[in-house]
Amino acid sequence: MNNKQIAIIGTGVIGNGWIVRFLANGFDVVAYDPIDGAEARTKEVIEQAWESVESLGLHTDASHERIRFVSSIEDAVKHADLIQENVPERLDLKQDVLKEIDRFAQKDAIIGSSTSGIKPTELQIKLDHPERLVVAHPFNPVYLLPLVEIVGGKQTTKEMKQAAHDLYEAANMKPMIIEKEIEGFVADRLMEALWREALHLVNDGIATTEEVDKAITYGAGLRWAQMGPFMTFHLAGGKEGMRHMLKQFGPALKLPWTKLEAPELTEDLKERVINGCETHAGDRSVAELEHKRNAFLVQLI
Ligand code: NAD
């Protein structure tokens, strides 16, 4: 029996993803979101996602019934062991919501923020007990992708980072503690580098959005499910591995690194990217595409 209670604050894309993950792993969840219809939206997400988490194997105590919506942050957090904050990515809003969480949470509760890029030290500023705040940055869909980056701020204790690590691990995740604070942490910085170049290629008319996606989907993307850039290049260097790889391709690699461009996100570029994606999707809705993605990820995992 998993006797930890989880509070989810903000039940949008990511908050709902966390809800499905914690329910599937046998936790009790209490949720709060001020938007009208939040509970019905969450029920819908649970219904759509349950088949995927079920096929990966549910915890013996897992139940999609073990969730309760409440009407205040206080009621959501007061008995929780972990509070996961998932409100929109605005520093002032997050600081205010975290201050309220901090006010009503148990003193030894962990507070995790899902922020994609804000440094935890900035999130700690208004807290009376900043030592228990960590960034716990997940990946969409949270109920399937196991990585969570854990980053402490200047006032976070080592014990809290470890406690957060262990709790996310109990939710069947692959937590990674990042010791140095940096905007965007590790995984999103890597994604940003690729995203920036993808926009540049579309902006300069070198490739369409569909061609950029194809270049990843049928090439490096297939490998990335198994290994990252370092092991990929280690294998690309023949039997001497990375040693040969750097000797052979090191000088050549300097060239693209210095030539990468950062395009400006103009209205024209935005329109081209939106049109490109809508044309590529055709008559397939986002829900249909998500269903297909989930089925693929389940097979892969
Ligand atoms: P979203 O817009 O889908 O959801 C935000 C939710 O917060 C909404 O339902 C909104 O009603 C609610 N909210 C607003 N004010 C609130 C308040 N005062 N108290 C409680 N709830 C409130 O956003 P999202 O994509 O789920 O992003 C949430 C966080 O997760 C952001 O910090 C984002 O950077 C991070 N994140 C997003 C992704 C992603 O792929 N979307 C991935 C990783 C991390």
Q: What is the atom index within ligand 1 of the atom nearest the CA of 93? A: 18
pLDDT of residue 1: 58
What tokens appear for 147 in the block? 């990585």
Residue nearest to atom 35 of ligand 1 (CA): 115
pLDDT of residue 251: 84
**Ligand 1 centre distance from Cα of residue 226 (Å):** 29
Domains in the chain (CATH in brackets) are 5-178 (3.40.50.720), 187-300 (1.10.1040.10)
DSSP symbol at 156: -
Place of tokens 């936790």: 27
pLDDT of residue 249: 83
DSSP-assigned states of every residue in 160-184: HHHHHHHHHHHTT-EEEEE-S--TT
Phi, psi for 96 (deg, rounded to 5): -70, -45
- Diameter over CA atoms, the chain: 61
Residue nearest to atom 39 of ligand 1 (CA): 140
Residue ranges lining ligand 1, Cβ < 6 Å: 9-15, 32-35, 86-89, 97, 114-116, 137-138, 140
**Ligand 1 centre distance from Cα of residue 178 (Å):** 22
Query: For a substitution probing ligand 1, which of 9, 14, 42, 101 has the most ligand atoms within 8 Å of its CB?
Result: 14
Phi, psi for 43 (deg, rounded to 5): -60, -40
Residue 41 to residue 259: CA distance in whole angstroms: 45
Is 86 exposed, middle or buried (CB count within 10 Å of its CB: 0-12, 13-18, 19+)? buried
* Half-sphere exposure in the Cβ direction for 37 (13 Å, CA): 3
**Looking at 114-267, which runs of residues are DSSP E strands?**
133-137, 147-152, 174-178
Distance of alpha carbon 174 from the chain centroid: 12
Residue 51 to residue 32: CA distance in whole angstroms: 24
ipTM computed for the complex: 0.99
pLDDT of residue 259: 76
Rg value, the chain, Cα: 21
What tokens appear for 181 in the block? 């604070």
pLDDT digits (tens), the chain, 301 positions: 578 999 999 999 999 999 999 999 999 999 999 999 999 999 999 999 999 999 999 999 999 999 999 999 999 999 999 999 999 999 999 999 999 999 999 999 999 999 999 999 999 999 999 999 999 999 999 999 999 999 999 999 999 999 999 999 999 999 999 999 999 999 999 999 999 999 999 999 999 999 999 999 999 999 999 999 999 989 988 999 999 988 988 887 777 666 777 899 999 999 999 999 999 999 999 999 999 999 999 999 9
Cβ atoms of 135 and 117 closer than 8 Å = no
Question: Residue 36 pairs with which residues in a beta bridge?
Answer: none
Contacts 24+ apart (CB under 8 A), 50-55: 50/20, 50/24, 52/141, 52/143, 52/144, 52/294, 52/295, 52/297, 52/298, 53/20, 53/21, 53/24, 53/143, 53/144, 54/24, 55/298
Of 130, 171, 119, 131, nearest in space to 148 by CA? 171
